[in-house]
Structure 1
Amino acid sequence: MPAVAPLTFVGLHYWAGAGHAFQAVADLLAPDYSFLAPDLLGFGEAPAPVGSKYTVDAYVAQVGQYLADNQITRYVLAGHSMGGKVALALAARQPAGLAGVVLLSPSPPLPEPMTDEERLASMRAYGKLSEAEKTFRKITARPLPEPVRQQILQDNLRSTRLAWDAWLLHGSREDISARMCTVAVPCTIIAGDQDDVMSPSVHGLETLPLLPTGTPLEIVGGAGHLLPYEAPEEVAELLRTFASTL
């Protein structure tokens, strides 16, 4: 029998974040599992290509190229928030090598439950430190070290305007629910019970029914929306358990 290729986790970060959001989780999984996490277009240090519309499918294409460039042959997608929707869109294409999908407080396949007022306020918040600090307080529930807080703020502020607005106006509103019937790998959802952005009930109502039968919804007590930062130990343990079943 041919040897089974080692399993790699590929993290897809949240809107206005960056790949290094997964660093603490990656450290906890090492050396048993490799963990790679690219910066998605327009965020972190990723390029802002001219002409990109920053759609969900544009991010899928970027991740597909990243997988090919890094010769990743067997992997689990760990999609957080915006990255969760991207992970599901990629999984629906049944790419070779995909072994499973872990969704951390994911943006649902349906349009996000965001009011026009909330969307406009987020657009107006672009590039403002005071607004980034307000967002930080809203999306976290557990205390974080000051260097981590500063990293989260800086990631927010260095997001490109095009990518920022495109997600609010288009990506978050995309409906990819019809594609979910082709997701054929094991999945799991992880959510914080103190998440003021995507409550566990949103996942239970809008995402879980569209995933393979038996997909669990794991709840992390006392955690907000930024699970990789707030609950790296719990996330790493759940990822390790999920990987052991594949």
Structure 2
Amino acid sequence: MTALRTVTVGNSPVQVLESGTGPTVLMLHGSGPGTTGSGAWATTARALGGSWHLVAPDQAGFGGTPLPAGTRGGLRLWTEQAAGLMDALGIEDYAVVGHSMGGAVALALAAARPQQVTRVVAVSTMGAPGAPLSPDLDAIWAAPADPLGARDMLSRLVHDQTLVTDSAVDARATAMRAGAATFASVFPPPRARWADDLTLSARTLAAVRAPVLLVHGAQDRVTPLGTAALPLLGHLADVRLHVLGRCGHVPALEHPHEFRHLLSCHLRQGRGH
């Protein structure tokens, strides 16, 4: 059973996709315009079946979750909102899966809530100390909400360009238009400061006690392997890195079966943690 619902967190509404029963997995999407929790994770949730309780929110400023009054977004807000969501749902311990921006939030949440977060999967993650804003991420954050902007963005996200179909472009352009007004306020230029905001300190990373699996594409141009994933190996206490060849920024799309296998294996190890 998969359902969309709204949960109040700190007096603000958060739209959440929920499915399945069992150990809880919080799934955090990335930062591209038009991204939502359901858009990022619905296919993975269906494939994982009903043996997990999957919680995939739209983070503040994305999809059906507005920015709380007087805020602009950023790592602290997204981390506090994720923690508050799990508190509001009455969930005491959970694994966290995060993609790109969501990976940085997942690691920050694990550092802030070591008693609650049992395991982390950070996919194509941001957050590494000193990681620069890549030209491709800069272009994605600046993409106009029209078919040309959607096509350019999708082409940067994937290694396999046959995935940039007309239907995928149309769907993304529609999602981008729906969230355009709010998204424009989240990452205004100069954008390097927002990449810096999503950078975690060595001290924060050292506070992550949960086992971490990093999953990264060898051809990722948005968060390149060398600056995004490799530096984290020296900062995290319990970490593994799995690199997928012929893969860009979205392993769940380009290598869905292998991605779900990696996810399931890491999460199963956390049962009874």
Residues 6 and 125 from structure 1, CA distance in 2 versus in 1: closer, same or farther, beyond 3 angstroms? closer
**Aligned counterpart, 2:95:** 76
Which one-letter code corresponds to 1:43 in the other structure? F
Higher relative CO (Cα under 8 Å, sequence separation at least 6) belongs to 1
**Aligned counterpart, 2:171:** 151
**Aligned counterpart, 2:268:** 244
Give ranges in structure 1 of 5+ residues lacking alignment. Answer: none
Residues 119 and 217 from structure 1, CA distance in 2 versus in 1: closer, same or farther, beyond 3 angstroms? closer
| Alpha carbons 2:103, 2:122 under 8 Å: kept | yes
Query: Which TM-score applies when normalising by structure 2?
Result: 0.78
| Alpha carbons 2:119, 2:212 under 8 Å: kept | yes
Residues 7 and 218 from structure 1, CA distance in 2 versus in 1: closer, same or farther, beyond 3 angstroms? same
| Alpha carbons 1:189, 1:217 under 8 Å: kept | yes
Residues 211 and 54 from structure 1, CA distance in 2 versus in 1: closer, same or farther, beyond 3 angstroms? same
**Aligned counterpart, 2:16:** none
CA deviations 1:144-187 (Å, max 9, x no partner) are 36544433333334242112328935331124223111101100
| Alpha carbons 1:25, 1:233 under 8 Å: kept | no
Sequence identity percentage: 25
Residue 70 of structure 2 is aligned to residue 51 of structure 1: yes
Match of 2:150, SS state, is helix
**Aligned counterpart, 1:8:** 24
| Alpha carbons 1:102, 1:239 under 8 Å: kept | yes
Aligned with residue 42 of structure 2, among 3, 9, 23: 23
Aligned with residue 141 of structure 1, among 154, 159, 176: 159
C-alpha root-mean-square deviation of aligned residues, in Å? 2.5
**Count of aligned positions:** 240
In the TM superposition, residue 130 of structure 1 has moved relative to its aligned partner by 1.6
Residue 55 of structure 2 is aligned to residue 36 of structure 1: yes
CA deviations 1:181-232 (Å, max 9, x no partner) are 110110010011221212222234322211124x111122322112233333
Which one-letter code corresponds to 1:168 in the other structure? R
**Which structure dedicates a bigger proportion of its chain to strand?**
2
**Aligned counterpart, 1:226:** 250
- Hey, what's the Cα distance between the residues in 2 that align with 1:108 and 1:165? 19
- Hey, what's the Cα distance between the residues in 2 that align with 1:224 and 1:232? 13
Match of 1:137, SS state, is helix
Give ranges in structure 2 of 5+ residues lacking alignment. Answer: 1-20
| Alpha carbons 2:114, 2:208 under 8 Å: kept | no
